[in-house]
């Protein structure tokens, strides 16, 4: 389907997980294009500091995307103080690493809450408002992992499959309303998510920068496509994956030395990132992630 270019200048854009990494890069790009950006992050201090660094009237606000009530309260606050939200970037995400049986209590629930349910909350809260105004665009950052499988990332992969499928389905339900959804599927990105993971030399070639992801994400506002990959060409490759027999897939992984989970990974290098995941599992009342 063809859509008119979505005007960025003067639009209000909400970016979740916007204090760092991909989210901050997207917020920066939207702001430079003239959007009034609201950076939302789990840590309100981080969100406000990021907004201050960004400048150009950006606002920082604390948001636990797992809570639909909090999400709706934040949307109400933004729309009363800044204006109707035109662009939503569902970027917040967590990526626990390691074998499934090593996951502590609460890891799967927290991962699904942040990586999938937050997208659902965003849609059910904002889509009716956008449809009523006849305009709006969701940019749902999922992952190439949302189309394949990967040992050592089983729960993360499951959450990204859910988010990707949800975004594609929600898009079709919005046909004719003036509101659109684009799914952005990056390969591994050079952020804290990949800290400590022992990538092979050839695997490092596929790691992209947050800036590259931001360029593709904000670029969806031009034609509002259903799905884009980062780097370009990712989506066709992911489609080919589904016709590869399991024996060929496993043989290929063995030949390139990728027939393993992502362990042993450098736990010290991931300490800060893992600590933030642990906070979310504890706050959910689900226990501690080890």
Cα 139 from Cα 36, distance rounded (Å): 16
The Cβ-side half-sphere exposure at 187, using a 13 Å CA radius, reads 18
3-state helix, strand, coil in the chain (%, to 5): 50, 15, 40
Instruction: Give tens-digit pLDDT for 14-43.
Output: 999 999 999 999 999 999 999 999 999 999
The Cβ-side half-sphere exposure at 250, using a 13 Å CA radius, reads 3
Domains identified in the chain and CATH numbers? 12-226+242-283 (3.40.50.720)
Contact 228, 184 (CB under 8 A): yes
Instruction: Give tens-digit pLDDT for 86-110.
Output: 999 999 999 888 889 988 888 999 9
Residue 273 is among the residues annotated as catalytic for this protein: no
Instruction: Give tens-digit pLDDT for 137-162.
Output: 999 999 988 988 888 889 999 999 99
Lowest mean pLDDT among 55-64, 150-159, 187-196: 187-196
Active-site residue, selected from the candidate residues 24, 71, 156, 265: 156
Instruction: Give tens-digit pLDDT for 257-270.
Output: 665 555 555 567 56
- pTM score of the predicted model: 0.86
286 pLDDT band, cuts 50/70/90, is: very low
């Amino acid at each position: 389907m063809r859509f008119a270019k979505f005007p960025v200048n003067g639009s209000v854009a909400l970016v979740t997980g916007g204090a760092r990494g991909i989210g901050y890069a997207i917020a920066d790009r939207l702001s430079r294009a003239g959007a009034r950006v609201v950076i939302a992050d789990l840590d309100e201090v981080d969100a406000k500091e990021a907004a201050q660094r960004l400048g150009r009237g950006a606002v920082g606000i604390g948001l636990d995307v797992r809570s639909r009530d909090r999400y709706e309260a934040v949307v109400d606050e933004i729309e009363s103080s800044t204006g109707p939200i035109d662009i939503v970037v569902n970027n917040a995400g967590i990526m626990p690493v390691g074998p499934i049986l090593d996951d502590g209590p609460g890891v799967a629930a927290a991962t699904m809450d942040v990586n999938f349910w937050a997208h659902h909350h965003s849609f059910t809260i904002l889509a009716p408002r956008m449809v009523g105004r006849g305009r709006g665009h969701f940019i749902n950052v999922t992952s190439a992992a949302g189309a394949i499988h990967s040992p050592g990332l089983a729960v993360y992969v499951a959450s990204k499959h859910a988010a990707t499928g949800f975004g594609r389905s929600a898009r079709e339900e919005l046909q004719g309303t003036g509101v659109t959804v684009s799914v952005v599927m990056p390969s591994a990105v050079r952020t804290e998510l990949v800290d400590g993971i022992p990538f092979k030399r050839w695997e490092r070639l596929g790691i992209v920068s947050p800036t590259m992801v931001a360029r593709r994400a904000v670029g969806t506002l031009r034609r509002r496509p259903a799905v884009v990959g980062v780097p370009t060409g990712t989506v066709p490759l992911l489609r080919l994956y589904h016709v590869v027999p399991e024996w060929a897939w496993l043989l290929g992984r063995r030949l390139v030395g990728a027939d393993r989970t992502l362990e042993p990974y450098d736990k010290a290098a991931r300490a800060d990132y893992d600590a933030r995941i642990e906070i979310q599992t504890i706050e959910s009342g689900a226990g501690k992630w080890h």
